[in-house]
């Protein structure tokens, strides 16, 4: 009688190694027509969410119309248009007078379906702790049972200084790099070139910030999210940037600011067919060997490499890659215990 197959999550990981399972693209929309278009596109693109939608209160709300814009966001998050439950909201910065109203409107109107709250412009870890505490107090006030995950933008000198501590905060799920505000915070010491496609991958201060954010997230089991590409009409530019962010800098997801950027980001963050095929071959052989070391095509494979190849398969599933039935039945048919 054969023994039951052991799933990779049972064989390879401890609870301390859990990472959030998020789509590789985070699409921002700030005005009502674009918000509704983003939700419709998310619902129509696939049976699962290939990208998150972040409704933007910070840059999207008209001055003087912040409360109405927050209520609109809550209505959209709680509506049937949010088919996959993967809609978050960027609120105003914590010191802003609208922060508390944003959070209260969202948790009261859409707390059960809100995927996350994005907090911008934190000056450091203490300010972010205060913001998270305010969200938690509002959650209790509203009688909301579930904790709402928090994403944060690293775009100030203080946040970059404290990035390791910020990534370690339990409420944090993902950190994003705020390219344009970070460059502006240098008061001209970083030229405008630093915000361009070429400059953001070559200027030493910008590149240093990206690497520190990525490293801090991986050390804390959180997901680093890469910044915008402002050349939004150039699909080759976004594809190039997404490939470099994923392959060179270790980012797990990336911002989109135009619908044309979504598909190139998803494609760039997906593993290529040869990677998927190799990962499946190795993992099936390892599973058959009860996850003991094996020789595969002349190379030693053990649990360290098995973890890598499992991440490849997870990313393939997350980006909507076509997987053979053997992979589906062995690894994705049911949730691992």
Q: What are phi and psi of 296, to 5 degrees?
A: -135, 110
Binding positions for substrate are: 90, 155
- Asked if 70 contacts 102 with a C-beta cutoff of 8 angstroms, the reply is yes
User: Exposed, middle or buried: residue 5 (CB in 10 Å: 0-12, 13-18, 19+)?
Assistant: middle
Binding positions for Mg(2+) are: 155, 181
CA atoms of 275 and 264, how far apart (whole Å): 19
By three-state DSSP, how is residue 255 classified?
strand
By three-state DSSP, how is residue 87 classified?
strand
294-296/299-301 β-pairing: antiparallel
Binding positions are: 90, 155, 181
Closest Cα to residue 196, out of 213, 182, 179, 212? 179
């Amino acid at each position: 009688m054969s023994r039951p197959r052991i799933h990779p999550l049972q064989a390879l990981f401890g609870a301390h190694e859990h990472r959030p399972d998020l789509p590789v693209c985070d699409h921002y929309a700030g005005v009502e027509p674009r918000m509704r278009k983003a939700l419709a596109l998310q619902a129509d693109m696939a049976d699962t969410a290939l990208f998150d939608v972040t409704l933007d209160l910070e840059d999207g709300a008209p001055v003087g119309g912040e409360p109405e814009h927050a209520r609109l966001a809550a209505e959209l998050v709680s509506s049937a248009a949010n088919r996959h439950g993967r809609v978050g909201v960027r609120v105003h910065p914590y010191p802003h007078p609208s922060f508390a109203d944003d959070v209260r409107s969202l948790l009261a109107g859409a707390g059960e379906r809100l995927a996350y709250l994005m907090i911008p412009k934190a000056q450091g870890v203490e300010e972010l702790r205060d913001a998270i505490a305010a969200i938690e107090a509002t959650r209790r006030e509203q009688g909301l049972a579930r904790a709402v995950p928090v994403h944060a933008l690293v775009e100030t000198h203080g946040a970059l200084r404290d990035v390791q501590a910020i990534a370690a905060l339990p409420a944090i799920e993902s950190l994003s790099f705020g390219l344009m505000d970070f460059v502006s915070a240098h008061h001209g010491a970083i030229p405008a070139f630093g915000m361009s496609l070429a400059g953001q991958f070559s200027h030493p201060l910008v590149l240093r910030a990206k690497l520190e954010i990525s490293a801090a997230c991986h050390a804390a089991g959180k997901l680093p999210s890469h910044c915008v590409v402002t050349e939004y009409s150039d699909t080759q530019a976004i594809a190039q940037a997404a490939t470099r962010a994923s392959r060179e800098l270790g980012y797990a997801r990336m911002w989109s600011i135009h619908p044309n950027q979504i598909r190139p980001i998803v494609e760039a963050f997906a593993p290529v067919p040869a990677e998927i095929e190799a990962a499946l071959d190795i993992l099936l052989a390892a599973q058959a060997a009860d996850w003991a070391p094996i020789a595969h095509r002349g190379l030693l494979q053990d649990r360290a490499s098995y973890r890598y190849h499992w991440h490849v398969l997870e990313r393939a599933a997350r980006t909507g890659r076509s997987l053979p039935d053997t992979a589906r039945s062995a690894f994705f048919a049911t949730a691992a215990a």
